[in-house]
Amino acid sequence: MFVQEEKIFAGKIIKIHICTMEGTEWLEEVTEDTTIEKLKEKCLKHYVHGSLEDPKTITHHKLLHAATERILTETKTIADESLKDKDVILLIKKRPPPPPPKMADISAEEKKKQENKAPDKDAILKATASLPIRHTDRTVTQHNIRDFQTELRKILVSLIEVAQKLLALNPDAVELFKKANAMLDEDEEDRVDETALQQLTEMGFPESRAVKALRLNHMSVTQAMEWLIEHVDDPAVDTPLPGQDTPGAVGATAPPLVPSISASASTDAATARQDELTEIFKRIRRKREFRPDSRAVVALMEMGFDEKEVVDALRVNNNQQDAACEWLLGDRKPSPEDLDKGIDTNSPLFQAILENPVVQLGLTNPKTLLAFEDMLENPLNSTQWMNDPETGPVMLQISRIFQTLNRT
């Protein structure tokens, strides 16, 4: 019995269930080594009932495996595509590409875009020239808000000068400033939010690093955690922040606050005491030195700004990155030097503040001086001082007086 050679070496014969989009169905018998392209040709011959006169008919169709919803690759075989007996294959006509647009259509589309184009500033001003002006209060409100931020800082600068003079005249100045300096150190130790610290230590961070991260990131747990992760391999990660050395080291290196005053040389002693108190104020201010947000510094420096001007921008704008960026790109007003200028001491506003009994009493408290210094350099700490039982009433009175005079 004669058997064709191709039948001997042919692969396993399987039956494929073919379906068209019109609903026609039939079975095609193919071997496992048949290519998908050959299977498509057989399906199209069956579908068009004859030979394929138009060669585009083959290229304009494709086979899709119904179960997996994947298009079969024409160069692969039945075995390569893992087709099995009775698998359902869809014969689908490819979607034709969109025809290229005509020149007339392009011109019409461009004309339509020009018609829908937003008007420029000159066109808007010309079209609205005859309209009455409205909502002018909005500009005034924004101006007043800006004045509030600027004037409040000026008020604090001038009140610090008054508080220094009042406290220096106090016969108990020595004890008062010993208390103030101790209070400042104690405040630095107690500033850490215990809840935030616990969250970080429970994550596995060492307590000393967690404390440093929280202080650098204004008690924000999320930012502190990111800082700790970023600096995990930093050799200086455990270096204490300035002014946060151990109390013993600080006491050993710090000069005495106020020298003893002799009764027989009151004038010279008073001058010496004033000079020494001035040094104390400078020391307190150094401890309250402005600390820029490290993440904001990196982000702004990546934009091409110099580190010094970035720190100035963050200081002027209370560590707010977006506002600092606008300041750097704008006219840079107010300048960093403007931050150290006080309010006119003869102005009605400042006189009204000084005449307030609550403010007068508060200015004799060293803690109020520390609060003013802290808010100047770290405005984000204002909430803490507003909630303090000793400094809160003073800040509330200053705010009320400013708002009252500002409205009038």
Q: What's the CA gap between 156 and 68, in Å, rounded?
A: 73
Domain spans, the chain: 13-93, 146-172+340-406
* pLDDT tens-digit series, residues 214-225: 877 767 777 788
DSSP class per residue in 331-398: T--S-GGGGG----TTSHHHHHHHT-HHHHHHHTSHHHHHHHHHHHH-GGGHHHHHTSTTTHHHHHHH
Mean pLDDT of 382-394: 85
Q: Give the per-residue pLDDT at 176.
A: 62
Mean per-residue pLDDT for 285-309?
78
Whether the pLDDT of residue 89 is over 80: the answer is yes
**How big is the CA angle at 299 (ends 296 and 301), to the nearest 5 degrees?**
105
For 27-74, the pLDDT digits (tens) are 888 888 889 888 888 888 877 765 566 666 667 788 888 888 888 888
| pLDDT at 407 > cutoff 60 | yes
DSSP 8-state class, residue 35: B
pLDDT band at 357 (very low <50, low <70, confident <90, very high): very high
Fold category of 13-93 in CATH = Ubiquitin-like (UB roll) (3.10.20)
Residue 295 has pLDDT above 70, yes or no: yes
**Structure confidence at residue 408 (pLDDT):** 66
Alpha carbon separation from 371 to 187, 255, 258, 273, 291 (Å, rounded): 11, 23, 22, 23, 16
pLDDT of 358: 92
- Is residue 176 within 8 Å of residue 366, measured between CB atoms? yes
Percent of the chain with pLDDT over 70: 69
pLDDT digits (tens, 9 = 90+) for 126-164: 888 888 876 554 444 444 444 566 677 788 888 888 887
d(CA 197, CA 53): 80
Taking all residues of the chain, what is their mean pLDDT, rounded to a whole number?
75
Of 88-92, 335-339, 370-374, the one with minimum mean pLDDT is 335-339
**How do residues 166-207 score in pLDDT, each as one tens digit?**
877 776 665 666 565 565 555 554 557 777 888 888 888 898
Q: What is the pLDDT of residues 229-262, one digit of tens each?
A: 888 888 878 887 655 544 333 333 444 444 444 4
**CA atoms of 262 and 268, how far apart (whole Å):** 9
pLDDT at 269: 58
* 295 in Cβ contact with 267 (< 8 Å): no
